[in-house]
Amino acid sequence: MTVAVLDTGVQPHLAMLEKNIARLDLVNESSVTLTNEHAWHGTAVASIIAGNSPDLRGLAPSAGILSIKVMGNDGTGNTFTLARGIIEAADRGARVINICMGTYSSSQLLEDAVNYAVQKGVAIVASAGNDGVEGVSYPARYDGVIAVSGVDASERHVYFANRGPQVDLAAPAVGVGAAWDEDRQALFSGTSAAAPFVSGALAWLMAANPAMSAEEATRLLYQYANDSVTPGRDEEVGEGILNVRRVRERGQKGIYDVGLAPLEVSAPPAGERFVTVSIMAQNRGTEPLSTFDMRIEAGQEAESAVFYNVGAGQSVRREKRLDAKLLEREPITVLVSVSIRGMPDAYPADNQKSSTISARK
């Protein structure tokens, strides 16, 4: 399985197998120059896909990396070179193309290159952009490209990640461990860190299932993504947050798992005094949940809810209203927990969420 990384070039690094890396330089700069500010970028991206060391292991550690240098060491590039890189990657047998660069201007040449690769059965993954704006950058914006936004460790959409109806998935984008220059490691943030999670997941999935097409693999990532804040597709995380474990375990019987999304707090509409806390729980296992319980604690108050017959992958919602006048006096911590009635939860780490809420006059 070959993944093309269209970036600043991939440097040799102890975290990756050098024999699994092929290089093509379309910028005519050295791919291993260590002295420039952005030379590490492609290496960090590649390590999330194919890192192969005990302390830095990628999602597809046996994948081959085709490093196509389309950006200079200063971190800039152009649509012509990017389009050429996409065509080269498709013609050289890459099954997945990872792109962590973008522009807010469409280019017919770039769109044609994307269409060429997609028609050859290549999965193209691109970062949504880091400007915190409404509108995904190109090429992530094109049809056929998987546009990846970012979340933090609490599964909340991060402020700098672009949003919009073109977002397809989200993945970790804050403090991701990655390879750096001179065999060092560092914490990597941005949608450039999120996109290679999706590329690595696709490479792993298609390598494990050689007859699976890129389209089929992509549908599985969408189907088994975690809902975040709202059920179904939204403009911040698209189809949801990548969950490779759920994809891996999709055919296994007897997995019972309920998880909570981050709590969402909505300010009261004009003329009203109640703050609304939206709570969403999702069946993330492989079996229907006949009954699970939810407990909501808000300051000194507590209430319970029971949900019945929640199918695998299905999400349910509950709301808690808080008096804004009380919040003006002191903050209130809302603590929510869920449990499956009569059996243990296979993955209990996401069974509890909390948020401290305050209001000012």
> Looking at residue 33, what is its pLDDT?
47
> Looking at residue 361, what is its pLDDT?
53
CA distance 145 to 322: 42
Domain identity same for 221 and 267: no
Residue 178 in any domain: the answer is yes
Bridging pattern class, strands 185-188 and 176-179 = antiparallel
Q: Which amino acid makes up residue 10?
A: V
Q: What is the domain extent for residue 122?
A: 2-248
For every residue of 247-297, DSSP letters joined together read: HHTTT-S----EEEPPPEEEPPPTT--EEEEEEEEEE-SSS-EEEEEEEEE
Domain identity same for 232 and 301: no
Domain identity same for 299 and 191: no
For the entire predicted model, the pTM comes to 0.94
Domain identity same for 202 and 227: yes
Domain identity same for 59 and 101: yes
pLDDT in tens, the chain (361 residues): 999 999 999 999 999 999 999 999 999 865 444 445 567 899 999 999 999 999 999 999 999 999 999 999 888 999 999 999 999 999 999 999 999 999 999 999 999 999 999 999 999 999 999 999 999 999 999 999 999 999 999 999 999 999 999 999 999 999 999 999 889 999 999 999 999 999 999 999 999 999 999 999 999 999 999 998 778 889 999 999 999 999 999 999 999 999 999 999 888 777 778 889 999 999 999 999 999 999 999 988 999 999 999 999 999 999 999 988 888 888 999 999 999 999 999 999 999 999 998 876 5
> Looking at residue 39, what is its pLDDT?
75
Q: What region does 182 belong to: left with phi over 0, alpha with psi -120 to 50, or beta?
A: left
Q: Which amino acid makes up residue 314?
A: Q
Nearby residues of 28 by Cβ (< 8 Å), 6 or more positions away:
none
- For the annotated catalytic residues, the residue numbers are 7, 38, 192
Count up the domains in the chain and report the number.
Answer: 2
Reduce the DSSP state of residue 211 to 3 states and report it: coil
Residue ending a domain, among 196, 228, 248, is: 248
Beta strands in 81-215 (DSSP E): 96-99, 123-127, 145-151, 169-172, 176-179, 185-188
